[in-house]
Structure 1
Amino acid sequence: MSDTATVENGYVFDPSWEREHSRLSALEEIYDSQSRHRLTELGVAEGWRCLEVGCGAGSIARWLARQVGAAGRVLAVDLDTRFAEAHTLSNLEVRRHDILTDRLPDAPFDLVHARAVVEHLSDRDEALRRMVAATRPGGWVVVEDFDIDGPMYPAAARYYPPQYIEVAERLGRALRAAFGAAGVDPGTGRRLPQALTDAGLTEVGAEVYAPVLTGGSSAFFPLTLRSLRPRLLETGEVSDADIEEVITLTKLQGSTYIPNFMVLAWGRKPS
């Protein structure tokens, strides 16, 4: 799920978990291609100033630094910067920062990007307001978050083998309940286009990304379930055997599944 430990409360994942770096890196392996595609389509180029909110393990920040070149600059922020600090890029600064309370540089950015961050924040509207305020007129704000609310988790369950659909639906209910109990909005993704419009952006667009994964191809979902196991069990929606059954499926050659639906939304600050 989240790309970062960006908030003081409400963050579902334990940043001190011994395999958290691996989980974040596995998330990047799944979702980076879609993020890079959209950012490229929006025109990221030499000389741009970019802000990466909740940089996590740092892959998008490093990619942006290579795209903008020596004339550009990337500022990557997070409450926990351990996993993003190891790099040799002179135009990339990694800084500990809370998007809800800490000031950003006065010079505006051409691009502000956040992935799997806003859903975890206690004041999502304020976070978007600050991100828009940090964007120059004509610049872009790009936000990505999951949607596991309403009909989305039953829809994801349909991509599991038939004999796993019921346990996948139970798991979806548990994920939604666990996120809600932690103060996370499980439907943030579907609300992003309207939220960006309400924040004053124009040329707003969005797309839903739902990669169908094959067993053994990715460690992201099994690591996520292991990290969330205590929270999932607390919901009463799933048993430990249910969690293990889905983890086994994610490693089973020839099986298919969808971890969750990611909504990628963007908008432009009026000139």
Structure 2
Amino acid sequence: MPESPPQDPYVFDRTWAREHERLTALEQVYDGASTERLAALGVAPGWACLEVGCGAGSVARWLADRVGPTGHVLATDLDPRFAGDRGPAQLTVRRHDLLADPLPAGAFDLVHARALLEHLPQRDEALRRLVAAARPGGWVVVEDFDIEGPMGEAVARYWPADHRLPAERLYRALTAAFAAAGADPGYGRRLPDALAGAGLTEVGARVHGPLVGGAGGFLPLTLRQLRAPLLATGLITGPQLDELIGVLDRPQARYLPNLMVTAWGRRPH
């Protein structure tokens, strides 16, 4: 009997009609913190950069502008269609499986991945591959969410007062849905230890939690995308989820979305 193809562990449906919109909304919330940290690490003309899990491609395009025509940016994703062909000549977008396809060893001044490793059950191996792609003295920057336990409760405190308890229930459901797919919903807070354990030095980290609002944002789109996995946890009902999405979509709403941890370290010479 032929073996079944391996199941994609990614909790999100890549074929969802509004996935490009959701990824673009994620960029609008988190790009500022990402590019601020990359600039602080010294990304400059002539650098070679690797952007893994490039999504809709905004960070890859920012890097390409930063390194200029004397540099190069390789942007990869399992589904790179949303990154498109836009960008200068020094930007290459390629379909690539981090856990299966080879990467140039010791070739990049900067290696960056955002909202990627948390989804991979083999995240230790994935991190090892990212580190191996950095040149000696190069930087590795990894960003992932932390929505687990007390962090979800902390986020809920910044929701409208009459919806804080339902928001806590929502984050418990998100945690369970991610875990059921083999993801680590608390990986963000484990990143500094993971980078140090992978042999990096000068390890640092910070947490980004922007207060946002308005209809059509990253979080309400994410909740719409994850409707089936969230309901499958049994921790939230359809009417409860619809009510929370309605709260987020109010023009006057102000809330805290998922907390993103940015961690960095340098490959030793």
Q: Unaligned 5+ residue runs, structure 1?
A: 1-6
CA offsets 1:194-244 (integer angstroms, 9 cap, x no match):
00000000000000001111233x521111000000000000111111111
Question: Aligned match of 2:259 in 252, 258, 261?
Answer: 261
**Map of 1:3 onto structure 2:** none
Report the secondary structure of 1:203's partner residue.
strand
Distance in 1 between residues matched to 2:226 and 2:251, nearest whole Å? 24
Q: Within the alignment, does 1:238 sit opposite 2:236 as a pair? A: yes
**Map of 2:3 onto structure 1:** none
Distance in 1 between residues matched to 2:214 and 2:57, nearest whole Å? 26
The answer as to whether partners of 1:112 and 1:131 remain within 8 angstroms in 2 is yes
Match runs of 1:100-111 below 5 Å:
100-106=99-105, 108-111=107-110
Identity %: 61
Q: Unaligned 5+ residue runs, structure 2?
A: 1-5
The answer as to whether partners of 2:212 and 2:255 remain within 8 angstroms in 1 is yes
The answer as to whether partners of 2:64 and 2:87 remain within 8 angstroms in 1 is no
The answer as to whether partners of 1:110 and 1:139 remain within 8 angstroms in 2 is yes
**Map of 1:215 onto structure 2:** 214
Q: CA RMSD in A?
A: 1.2
Match runs of 1:138-149 below 5 Å:
138-149=137-148
Match runs of 1:165-180 below 5 Å:
165-180=164-179
Quote how far apart the aligned CAs of 1:10 are.
1.8
- In the alignment, residue 251 of structure 2 is paired with which amino acid? Q
Distance in 1 between residues matched to 2:231 and 2:221, nearest whole Å? 16
Report the secondary structure of 2:140's partner residue.
strand
Match runs of 1:119-198 below 5 Å:
119-198=118-197
Report the secondary structure of 1:14's partner residue.
coil
The answer as to whether partners of 2:134 and 2:140 remain within 8 angstroms in 1 is yes
**Map of 2:18 onto structure 1:** 19
User: How many residues are paired up?
Assistant: 264
Report the secondary structure of 1:146's partner residue.
strand
**Map of 1:81 onto structure 2:** 80
**Map of 2:42 onto structure 1:** 43
Quote how far apart the aligned CAs of 1:8 are.
6.0
The answer as to whether partners of 1:143 and 1:192 remain within 8 angstroms in 2 is yes
Quote how far apart the aligned CAs of 1:60 are.
0.4
Displaced runs of 4 or more, over 2 A? none
The answer as to whether partners of 1:215 and 1:249 remain within 8 angstroms in 2 is no
Quote how far apart the aligned CAs of 1:86 are.
2.5
Distance in 1 between residues matched to 2:255 and 2:32, nearest whole Å? 19
The answer as to whether partners of 2:131 and 2:267 remain within 8 angstroms in 1 is yes
Distance in 1 between residues matched to 2:64 and 2:7, nearest whole Å? 28
**Map of 1:55 onto structure 2:** 54
